[in-house]
Chains A and B, each alone.
Chain A
Amino acid sequence: MHEMGIVLHLAKTLDQTAEEEKLTSIAKVVLQVGEVSGIITDLFTDCWDYFKPRHPVLRDCELVLETIPAVTWCDNCKQKYPTVKYGKECPYCHSGETWLLEGSECIIKEIEAE
């Protein structure tokens, strides 16, 4: 399952950060999830709830998900447009010479900890 793998990596990264920064408990983690990252947030939250109690520093950690809108660049008419609404074809010039600028990422933005 895709989400499970991502949560495993998230937990591992947070464990590492806690060790490096000598943190005893992480209260909050803010995750930025791209609109076309392929992550289903409901499933992601379920996986998170499963792994959280298994990592001592994450026991009381709140997960905050922020969405990064997906934006595509049209190489033909040099304009940006929202990916989810229009897909691969540029809504202005109908070219297929388009590239995703952002929206496929999954980034740990920040943590609150002590």
Chain B
Amino acid sequence: MKIIKLDASVTASNDQDAEALRARLRECGTLLVNVMSSAGAGKTTLLSRLICDMPERKIAVMEADIESDVDAKKIEALGATAVQVHTSGMCHMDAGMTTAAFDALEENDVDFAFLENVGNLICPAEYDTGAGVNLMLLSVPEGDDKPLKYPLMFQKSDALAITKTDALPYFTFNVEQCVARAKKLNPDIAVFPVCAKTGDGMGPLEDWLRARLQAWRNTI
């Protein structure tokens, strides 16, 4: 009998898969954007708006849900390539599942590949999917206290889109306070208050994504 010291994170195998996927995406010049939020924060609506606003970019979407293909159908109706991934009850996407989803797209010349993660503010933040950018959404009806309750996702995200800003008059959501709370957890997080339904505030987010794509392609 021998004792082997490992001292490895339990997700070490996932981290290897994530690095492998990132290397592959870099070769394709594709920026994988991992989109995370709770269920109903407006991920599909935001992606629909991005597809309509950026016709010059080739966009593909991987929809991860526990059941159904309603999201993938909405995206396909807009003319973008979409695949629906069923996580079989799992509450998050990991790098292996994301790699399989990317393979299923059968596209090698995509500018943006969006991964619409399972609606959940907790588990998706714990797994590296192989994405080049993590984008999280927090919708106005959810409340400005969420950075306090679910800090990890705010820490892991490169950008925060505060969605459904058209609902601000009906809720006590304090945007300034929310931004301060998010920045306290992650000083580098970029924040974009948007209303994907009307397109309000989408410009700065789209410019940010374009700049990230450029940066992704420029760093070898």
A residues with CB within 8 A of B = 1-2, 4-6, 9-10, 12-13, 16-17, 21, 27, 31, 38, 88, 96, 104-114
Contacts and interface: CB of A to CB of B under 8 A. Distances in A.
Nearest to B9: A107
A71 to B, nearest CB: 16
Given A108-B12, A110-B4, 16 more contacts: A1-B89, A1-B90, A2-B126, A9-B13, A9-B14, A10-B10, A13-B12, A27-B1, A104-B152, A105-B9, A107-B9, A108-B9, A109-B6, A112-B1, A112-B2, A112-B3
A6 B2 contact: no
Nearest to A13: B13
Nearest to A38: B122
A76 to B, nearest CB: 13
B94 interface: yes
Contacts, number: 76
Contacts of B184: 96
A14 B90 CA distance: 21
B189 interface: no
B7 interface: yes
Given A16-B13, A88-B148, A108 B123 contact: no
Nearest to A88: B148
A113 B10 contact: no
Interface in B1-32: 1-14
A109 B7 contact: yes
Contact of B11 (A6, A27, A112): A6
